[in-house]
Amino acid sequence: MLQGQKISRQSQVTVGSVPSDQVRAESTERYALSAQEKKHPTAALLTVPVTAALALGIHLFVAKNEPPNESRTYTIVLGSFFAGAIVAAVMQRWWPALQTRMRRFRPLFTVGVLLLCVWEVITSGFRMLPLPYFPSPAGVVQSMINDRGLLFDSTWHSLVLLLSGYLLGVVAGLVTGVCIGWSGPARYWGMPLLKVVGPIPATAWIPLAMVISPSALISAAGLIALAVWFPVTMLTASGISNTRASYLDVARTLGANARYLVFRIAIPAALPSIFVGLFMGLGASFLTLVVAESVGVKSGLGWYVSWAQGWAEYGKVYAALVIMAVFFSTIMTLLFKLRDRVLVWQKGMIRW
Amino acid sequence: MVASSLQLRDVGKSFPAPDQPLTRRPVLETISISLEAGELVSLVGPSGCGKSTLLRLIAGLDFPDSGELLVDEEPISGPSAERGLVFQDPNLFPWLTVRRNIEAGLAARGVLQQKRSEVKEFMRLVGLEAFADAYPHHLSGGMAQRVALARALINHPKVLLLDEPLGALDAFTRMRMQDEVLRLWQNRRTTMLLVTHDIDEAIYMSDRIIILTQRPGTIEQIIPIALDRPRDRSSSDFLSLRSEILELLHFAGNRTSEVTA
């Protein structure tokens, strides 16, 4: 909610810094609300609390034939969600930022909670799916809490491995990408190598990596770096070599030397393309991380998933998957935030 | 010394034909022009006659196949901050704010620290102080072109090359900008070479008009404009010069035959 305030303040500043009558019409708030939506009937306010209450009711009804401690935990989770929804519904009257957010996310939350209900009904309710492969949401939450120490540890190890591999790959990719994009000889020799070696999925190198690397951790970091290196190099090179010639011409007539042309003209001009590479590389790094952890490295969320699967503890498998989803999407969001900050000059031009 | 003289001697330039890479097509032939320091000269000619190529040669962004180009008697060996260039498209760096775009010339030469005070002066000169922190995509065409002019002027170029800088602007903005460019020229007395396809603009602004022929471009005629400044776009002298030039460019209807005969 604080984030929401910050974002709206930022956009006011950038738009407000230029007198609006002389400004080219800028497309305003994407999520602008129509006048009708601004009306806020009590019925709409109650959607989320009511759905949460429904979920709680279904759970209490279904949980009779479940282990008691498992159902108690899930009762607490749903109960606190319900309480939170009520508090939010009351608070929004005095807190405009919260109000906007709630209006935007209400349908999403409602459907999300309903899906949890459906999951619980078909698992613990009617036992339509075979155990132990499909535990109930209560079982997953319980696994998450029971095994929180190991899960936290695994997440931490995954984070360290992911970041070291990703940053290594990004740095290497930026260097090779700028060289290939800028210099003719580097392009001549680098491009064929890139075109032949790049498309091989990094995970296909696992057998070789196991042989040549002193430790599984180092080889995993290297593989992640390789997976990131290819898209980053490709898109950096293409961004650099597609720098508008007229920008370079203008800079030359302003007295720019080669260094200025590369670092102050070509690289900034290539940034939108570089960010596409960073996003593609991030996706590739998630994949490589999980595969590397499940086959070689003895730690991290990927290892945890296959270890839990080995014990047929599917509750833990799903718990790890949920954590992975939160973990990866948080990192993705951080990269989006970085992009919004770096590419602020494109505001109103990009939509992805 | 604010301005430089400029000499072009028998300059020729050809480019590979796009469809037959092995043959070269001449774009400019035997161009000889001499500009005195502080002169404002316009280049007029049919499209594709090599006007922009000529400016690129003078800017040092391209090299001639034959002939020599001299600035203050020194041959041109490459781009230099002493020869500014403004294109029809303002080509502002979109990742920099207006202020940083204007500073770019100082930053590129590594003298930003010493000369930062001039940035304000140049923003005032083109009336853009209020937009210092705006990004280029917020600017209208006329404002963007003013930033481009300020960016070129901040290096105090001794020669300013203008490649249809006002070509993309609407008629009113254009006339206002012509006055602005003239004001800048009169204040700074920089040598200016202006490519334009607008005869009125050429007559209104320049000391001399150089008319180029169809490709390959050669000099068809050089017309001195002896009208007093500030010029009146509707005076009879202005209008008669205008029809004279239109005749030269074969746009004067049925009188064309007399001229070519």
Single-letter amino acid code for the residue at B25: R
Token pair for residue B204?
């209104």
Model confidence at B176, pLDDT cuts 50, 70, 90, reads: confident
Half-sphere exposure of A237 (CA within 13 A, CB side): 22
A 10 A CB-CB count for A137 gives 22
pLDDT confidence of residue B88: 87
Taking the Cβ of residue A26 and every Cβ of chain B, the question of whether any pair is shorter than 8 Å is answered with: yes
Report the pLDDT averaged over residues A212-229: 91
Please indicate, yes or no, if residue B120 is contained in any of the structural domains.
Answer: no
Please give the CATH topology (third level) of the domain spanning A148-346.
Answer: MetI-like fold (1.10.3720)
Taking the Cβ of residue A79 and every Cβ of chain B, the question of whether any pair is shorter than 8 Å is answered with: no
pLDDT confidence of residue B61: 93
The alpha carbon of residue A266 is apart from the nearest alpha carbon of chain B, in Å, by: 11
Is pLDDT above 80 for B174? Answer: yes
Residue A47 to residue A86: CA distance in whole angstroms: 10
pLDDT confidence of residue B28: 87
Taking the Cβ of residue A345 and every Cβ of chain B, the question of whether any pair is shorter than 8 Å is answered with: yes
DSSP state of A209: H
In DSSP notation, A156-206 reads HHHHHHHHHHHHHHHHHHHHHHHHHHH-HHHHHHHHHHHHHHTTS-GGGGH
Comparing A127-131, A255-259, B104-108, the range with the smallest average pLDDT is A127-131
Report the pLDDT averaged over residues A106-133: 88
Residue B58 to residue B41: CA distance in whole angstroms: 14
Burial of A208 (0-12, 13-18, 19+ CB in 10 A): exposed
Residue A48 to residue A85: CA distance in whole angstroms: 6
Please indicate, yes or no, if residue B203 is contained in any of the structural domains.
Answer: yes
CB atoms B95 and A250 under 8 Å = no
Q: What is the mean pLDDT of chain A?
A: 85
- Paired with B217 in beta bridges are B28
Report the pLDDT averaged over residues A244-248: 94
* Residue B32 lies in domain: 6-92+159-260
Is pLDDT above 90 for A322? Answer: yes
DSSP state of B228: P
Q: Where do the domains of chain A lie?
A: 29-131, 148-346
Per-residue model confidence as pLDDT tens digits over B97-146: 999 999 999 999 988 888 888 898 888 878 888 899 999 988 988 889 88
Token pair for residue A205?
């190198």
In DSSP notation, A210-230 reads HHH-SSHHHHHHHHHHHHHHH
Predicted TM-score (pTM) of this structure = 0.83
Cα dist from B29 to A319, B108, B219, B249, B250, whole Å:
77, 34, 9, 18, 21
Please indicate, yes or no, if residue B1 is contained in any of the structural domains.
Answer: no
Per-residue model confidence as pLDDT tens digits over A230-241: 999 999 999 999
Closest CA to A250 of B169, B114, B88, B31: B88
User: Bigger pLDDT: A65 or A152?
Assistant: A152
DSSP state of B40: E
A102: left (phi > 0), else alpha (psi -120 to 50), else beta? alpha
pLDDT confidence of residue A244: 94
CB atoms A246 and B91 under 8 Å = yes
Please indicate, yes or no, if residue B134 is contained in any of the structural domains.
Answer: no
Residue B71 to residue B84: CA distance in whole angstroms: 13
Taking the Cβ of residue A268 and every Cβ of chain B, the question of whether any pair is shorter than 8 Å is answered with: yes
Sort out which chain B residues have CB atoms less than 8 A from A273's CB and list them.
none
Is pLDDT above 50 for A331? Answer: yes
Domains identified in chain B, total number: 1
User: Bigger pLDDT: B249 or B83?
Assistant: B83
Token pair for residue A212?
């040549």
Single-letter amino acid code for the residue at B93: F
Convert A139-158 to b/e letters by CB count within 10 Å (16 or more is b): bbbbbbbbbeeebeebbebb
Token pair for residue B229?
């400044």
Is pLDDT above 80 for B155? Answer: yes
pLDDT confidence of residue A184: 92
Sort out which chain A residues have CB atoms less than 8 A from B93's CB and list them.
247, 250, 265, 268-269
B211's enclosing H/E stretch is: strand B208-212
Give me the CATH number covering residue B168. 3.40.50.300
Report the pLDDT averaged over residues B235-244: 89
Report the pLDDT averaged over residues B194-218: 89
Per-residue model confidence as pLDDT tens digits over A2-58: 444 444 433 333 333 344 333 443 444 444 445 445 555 677 788 888 999 999 988
